[in-house]
Amino acid sequence: MIFWPDKKRYTFVPTFSLCGTALNKVKQVKYLGHWVTEDLNDNIDIERERRALSVRYNMLARRFSRCMETVKVALFKSYCQSFYTCSLWVNYTLRTYSDLRVQYNNAFRVLMALPRHCSASAMFAAAHTDGFAAIMRKRCASTMRRMRDSPNTILHALSDRWDSPMLDRWIRLHAVV
């Protein structure tokens, strides 16, 4: 994979080989469950998470429709609030991010058998569980804290850089506008 800085495209890209075998160039690769693309865009990974959320909440809604609300909330927290690698998302379209947020809200409505147009903030408050924005803030803050506490000097330096995309996202998630 060749990362293209600032949408710059080179006319000549050399071929790379390993032990005499030419390496294939790819536009995206899945690494440790996270999709990395040549333009460092996170839309594909957010879409992966959206599809995974859909599978999980549909399974919960089918299998546990007759359970008590407290059980449903506990299952929702366990299965639908993970958002694996969400703290690494820094370059995405608002549409993709919003689609995931809407699906998260709808997942809770379906599981709890709530009307389609009920208030998301009210339903999460009534169930004493975190909404989408709270989860994103917590995951991002947790990653920043782990990076800053890390004995790895590279991670520590990256977390404190003012031009860091992760620090920029953390500030945007925590700033009150």
Surface-to-core class of residue 123, CB atoms within 10 Å of its CB (0-12 exposed, 13-18 middle, 19+ buried): middle
**What does the pLDDT look like over 102-154, one tens digit per residue?**
999 999 999 999 999 999 999 999 999 999 999 998 998 888 888 889 899 88
DSSP reduced 3-state for 74 = helix
Instruction: Taking residues 28-45, report their average pLDDT.
Output: 91
pLDDT of residue 7: 65
Which tokens in the block code for residue 18?
């390993």
For residue 172, how far is the Cα from the chain centroid?
A: 15
pLDDT of residue 156: 81
Residue type, 130: D
Give how far Cα 3 sits from Cα of 7, 9, 34, 87, 139, Å: 9, 10, 16, 21, 26
Q: Give the predicted TM-score (pTM) of the model.
A: 0.83
Instruction: State yes or no: pLDDT of 62 exceeds 90.
Output: yes
User: Greater confidence, 97 or 148?
Assistant: 97
Instruction: Taking residues 159-170, report their average pLDDT.
Output: 78
